[in-house]
């Protein structure tokens, strides 16, 4: 399940550029139609703005050090996955564009570019004042799920959304918020797997100035930011069990106390959670608090994997391709190939494939041969598939060893492997699809 991009009222455009003159020109061009535009001259400032403002689109320069730009795009993709980021770059090669897209950028502009190109990109990704679009739901399983979600949205109870990595759990959470009585309030999402354990408490609950080393000013946590709206705790099973106890108290007492504060802050927040694990098994293994499980799992929902709702595959692919170029389409042979593939990475893998294929193919009508599947895809039919399988299995073995060395903690394993938590979740989904045992998980 996925959704077309749409933004809430009063969302703004963020411009990030180290060059004040270029930043001023871009901001002026974007402000021409009375849009609200704000700017930052570096990545850390941009992330702070994203944390407090309702941003609907980001334009960012890679800067003198491309690694800094890649870090920013990865951070946006991890912390604010619903916000499209467009890179402004001096490098116009196809290879560079692919690398940028892998880092999390939605699109790219090659300098120097005409301001009319800015307008085209804004029209494509930024739609202020619209309501959240309906997710793609063609398959019977998806239609039934949305019907249930609408009924759930009318309540105020906590909801846990289960499903494989990349299946669209956050999209469903946003759908619930958009159809709830809190739709005009904020929707705040935090990925529990992406924040280091020693920082997650401060990010969730906030802190006062001087509460710990580096706390140079007071900061409202995600609970306070979501007051009057909805807070999504993505991948809740990744939260340390000690922090789970504090989370339970906040939910029960409906108040939060910042680190270093003397008095609590009252809360009016609906909590939604997602997980790609079987939380009952996690409770039985002592990795998740039973009392918190029952507090969060009042109305459980489960999203089928993409391979279990095949009638959604082609409509989703058409939607993703339309985001990139509305004039392009898939040929019948490409549609058949998309329909046949099992998508172990689910909707996220499909989105990535469409982006790569659109960039690398010059055809207006994309053929089956234009579909740029990853070279490590084990479903390949090429003559060197044996080599691809061997490389993939070696990769999976490295992942298994990292997980075992870190007692199954995926955030720590991802750091050891020097990959993002999201990439690790995608790889683990592929391992499960192939029947490979994942350390730290129970199997029958």
Question: Does residue 6 belong to any structural domain of this protein?
Answer: no
pLDDT at 386 over 60: no
For 213, other C-beta atoms within 10 Å of its C-beta total 6
Last residue of a domain, one of 266, 282, 302: 302
Question: Does residue 135 belong to any structural domain of this protein?
Answer: no
Domain containing 341 — which CATH number?
1.10.8.60
Q: Higher pLDDT residue, 109 or 161?
A: 161
Question: Does residue 2 belong to any structural domain of this protein?
Answer: no
pLDDT at 255 over 90: yes
Last residue of a domain, one of 370, 405, 424: 370
Do 97 and 203 share a domain, yes or no? no
- Determine the pLDDT at residue 128: 54
Q: Quick one: pLDDT band at residue 9, thresholds 50, 70, 90?
A: very low
Domain containing 53 — which CATH number?
3.40.50.2300
Question: Does residue 311 belong to any structural domain of this protein?
Answer: yes
- Asked which of 49-63, 120-134, 172-186, 308-322 is least confident by mean pLDDT, the reply is 120-134
Q: Quick one: pLDDT band at residue 130, thresholds 50, 70, 90?
A: very low
Calpha distance 181→165 (Å, rounded): 28
Q: Higher pLDDT residue, 348 or 89?
A: 348
Range of the domain at 106: 12-125
Q: What percent of the chain has pLDDT over 90?
A: 37
Question: Does residue 182 belong to any structural domain of this protein?
Answer: yes
For range 290-302, the mean pLDDT: 94
Domain count, the chain: 3
Coil/strand/helix, residue 86: strand
Q: pLDDT tens, 408-435?
A: 888 888 888 878 777 788 788 777 766 6
- Asked which of 64-68, 221-225, 274-278 is least confident by mean pLDDT, the reply is 64-68
Question: Does residue 200 belong to any structural domain of this protein?
Answer: yes
Q: Quick one: pLDDT band at residue 10, thresholds 50, 70, 90?
A: low
Do 225 and 277 share a domain, yes or no? yes
Do 216 and 83 share a domain, yes or no? no
For range 26-48, the mean pLDDT: 84
Do 69 and 152 share a domain, yes or no? no
Rounded to 5 degrees, what are φ and ψ at 40?
-145, 155
Cite the beta strand spans of 289-411 per DSSP E.
Answer: 299-302, 329-330, 365-366
The answer to whether the beta carbons of residues 79 and 36 sit under 8 Å apart is no
Mean pLDDT over the full length of the chain: 82
Cite the beta strand spans of 10-64 per DSSP E.
Answer: 12-16, 37-40, 55-61
Q: pLDDT tens, 362-377?
A: 788 999 988 988 755 4
Residue spans of alpha helices (H) in 80-183: 94-102, 115-125, 140-153, 169-178
Question: Does residue 46 belong to any structural domain of this protein?
Answer: yes
- Determine the pLDDT at residue 271: 96
Question: Does residue 397 belong to any structural domain of this protein?
Answer: no
Do 53 and 81 share a domain, yes or no? yes
Calpha distance 400→428 (Å, rounded): 9
Q: Higher pLDDT residue, 377 or 263?
A: 263
Do 177 and 155 share a domain, yes or no? yes
Do 295 and 313 share a domain, yes or no? no
pLDDT at 97 over 60: no
Domain containing 164 — which CATH number?
3.40.50.300
Q: pLDDT tens, 211-234?
A: 887 777 788 889 998 999 999 999
For range 319-344, the mean pLDDT: 88
**For the CA atoms of the chain, what is the radius of gyration?**
22
Do 297 and 347 share a domain, yes or no? no
- Determine the pLDDT at residue 36: 83
Last residue of a domain, one of 302, 325, 346: 302
Do 298 and 310 share a domain, yes or no? no
Do 340 and 273 share a domain, yes or no? no
Q: Quick one: pLDDT band at residue 284, thresholds 50, 70, 90?
A: very high
- Determine the pLDDT at residue 375: 58
Calpha distance 229→239 (Å, rounded): 22
Do 149 and 109 share a domain, yes or no? no
Q: pLDDT tens, 105-122?
A: 777 787 777 777 787 778
Do 281 and 181 share a domain, yes or no? yes
- Asked which of 4-8, 274-278, 437-441 is least confident by mean pLDDT, the reply is 4-8
CA of 214: how far to CAs of 89, 200, 204, 355, 432, in Å?
A: 33, 15, 17, 39, 40
Rounded to 5 degrees, what are φ and ψ at 326?
-70, -15
Q: Which of 29-38, 80-89, 254-263 has the highest mean pLDDT?
A: 254-263
Calpha distance 36→86 (Å, rounded): 17
């Amino acid at each position: 399940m996925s959704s077309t991009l749409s933004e809430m009222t009063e969302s703004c455009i963020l411009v990030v550029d180290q060059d004040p003159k270029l930043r001023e020109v871009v901001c002026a061009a974007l402000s021409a139609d009375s849009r609200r535009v704000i700017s930052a001259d570096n990545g850390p400032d941009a992330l702070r703005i994203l944390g407090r403002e309702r941003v609907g689109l980001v334009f960012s320069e890679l800067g003198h050090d491309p690694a800094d730009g890649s870090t920013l795009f990865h951070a946006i993709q991890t912390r604010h996955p619903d916000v499209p980021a467009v890179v402004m770059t001096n490098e116009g090669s196809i290879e560079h564009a692919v690398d940028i897209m892998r880092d999390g950028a939605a699109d790219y502009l090659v300098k120097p570019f005409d301001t009319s190109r800015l307008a085209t990109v804004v029209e494509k990704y930024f739609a202020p004042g619209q309501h959240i679009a309906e997710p793609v739901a063609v398959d019977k399983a998806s239609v039934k799920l949305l019907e249930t979600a609408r009924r759930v949205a009318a309540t105020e109870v906590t909801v846990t959304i289960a499903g494989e990595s990349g299946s669209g759990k956050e999209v469903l959470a946003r759908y619930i918020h958009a159809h709830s009585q809190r739709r005009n309030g904020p929707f705040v999402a935090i990925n529990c797997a992406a924040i280091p354990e020693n920082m997650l408490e401060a990010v969730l609950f906030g802190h006062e100035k001087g509460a710990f080393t580096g706390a140079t000013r007071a900061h409202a946590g995600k609970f306070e930011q979501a007051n009057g709206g909805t807070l999504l705790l993505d991948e809740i099973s990744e939260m340390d069990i000690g922090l789970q106890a504090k989370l339970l108290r906040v939910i029960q007492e409906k108040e939060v106390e910042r680190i270093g504060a003397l008095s609590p802050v009252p809360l009016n927040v609906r909590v939604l959670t997602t997980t790609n694990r079987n939380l009952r098994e996690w409770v039985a293994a002592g990795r998740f608090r039973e009392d918190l499980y029952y507090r969060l799992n009042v109305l459980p929902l489960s999203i089928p994997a993409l391979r279990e709702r095949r009638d959604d595959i082609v409509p989703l692919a058409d939607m993703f391709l339309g985001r990139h170029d509305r004039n392009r389409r898939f040929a019948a042979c490409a549609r058949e190939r998309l329909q046949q593939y099992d998508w172990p990475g689910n909707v996220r893998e499909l989105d990535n494939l469409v982006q790569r294929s659109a960039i690398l193919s010059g055809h207006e009508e994309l053929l089956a041969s234009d579909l740029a599947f990853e070279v490590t895809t084990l479903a390949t039919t090429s003559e060197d598939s044996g080599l691809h399988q061997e490389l993939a299995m070696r990769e999976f073995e490295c992942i298994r060893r990292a997980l075992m060395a870190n007692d199954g903690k995926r955030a720590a394993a991802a750091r050891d492997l020097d990959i993002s938590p999201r990439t690790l979740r995608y790889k683990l989904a592929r391992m499960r699809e192939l029947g490979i045992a994942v350390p730290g998980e129970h199997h029958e």
